[in-house]
Homo-oligomer: A and B are copies of this chain.
Amino acid sequence: MYSTTEENYLKTIYKLQIQLGTFINTNAIADGVNTKAASVTDMMKKLSEKKLLSYEKYKGVQLTEKGKKVAIETLRKHRLWETFLHNQLGFTWDAVHDIAEQLEHIQSNELVEKLDAFLGFPTHDPHGDPIPGRNGVIKESNFILLSVLQKGEKGIISGVVNHSSLFLQHLEKNKLTLGKTIAINEVSSFDLSVKAILDGKEKIQLSNEVVKNILIKKLI
């Protein structure tokens, strides 16, 4: 139905709309799809022509319901495939994104639904991001930043803000994976680094750069 390129544009715009509000500017899109502003302008005209978004010169861009639907379907496929790669094939969480970036464009509704069932209708992908349902509904999780936890509080690692391989590998190496419990012992008022207990056993120390990129579900 839509090309790989079109789906990538729509998915990127959708994600930008979530984090930045409604009107998305050309440069942000160019950055997101890894191309130049001139190419984005071209594509915006085409997508607007196809009623996937509304575009007004110099004013930015906004997805229509139709465009949002395609974006969410693509996101759904991406996250289901990431889950497959991680849970079934044993890929580490830093390796799944690039492959899912290709797999998300395979066209077959039957495949998506069968994959979903095969995986047991997962609600979150390996990075803790919510997987949109068949109906297109996304249950946004109310995770909070680990950096807002105070001394004495604890939570379960449930997601990440930064999705880069470098960061994910760093977490993996330090056993900071989804499901682990972190209890804050002390927050340095000098560099905001944190001393904590991992899973009630191990003493660990985390830089502010790390704690502000981990999402947790607060306990009690």
Contacts and interface: CB of A to CB of B under 8 A. Distances in A.
A108 interface: yes
A98 to B, nearest CB: 8
A145 interface: no
Contacts of A95: 110
A121 interface: no
A98 B110 CA distance: 12
A202 to B, nearest CB: 30
B115 A89 contact: yes
Question: How many copies of this chain does the complex contain?
Answer: 2
Interface in A99-113: 99, 102-103, 106-108, 110-111
A111 B90 contact: no
Per DSSP, are chain A's interface residues mostly helix, strand or loop, or mixed? helix
Interface residues of A, number: 18
Nearest to A106: B102
A88 interface: yes
Nearest to A113: B89
A90 B114 contact: yes
Contact of A108 (B99, B108, B114): B99
Contacts of A115: 89
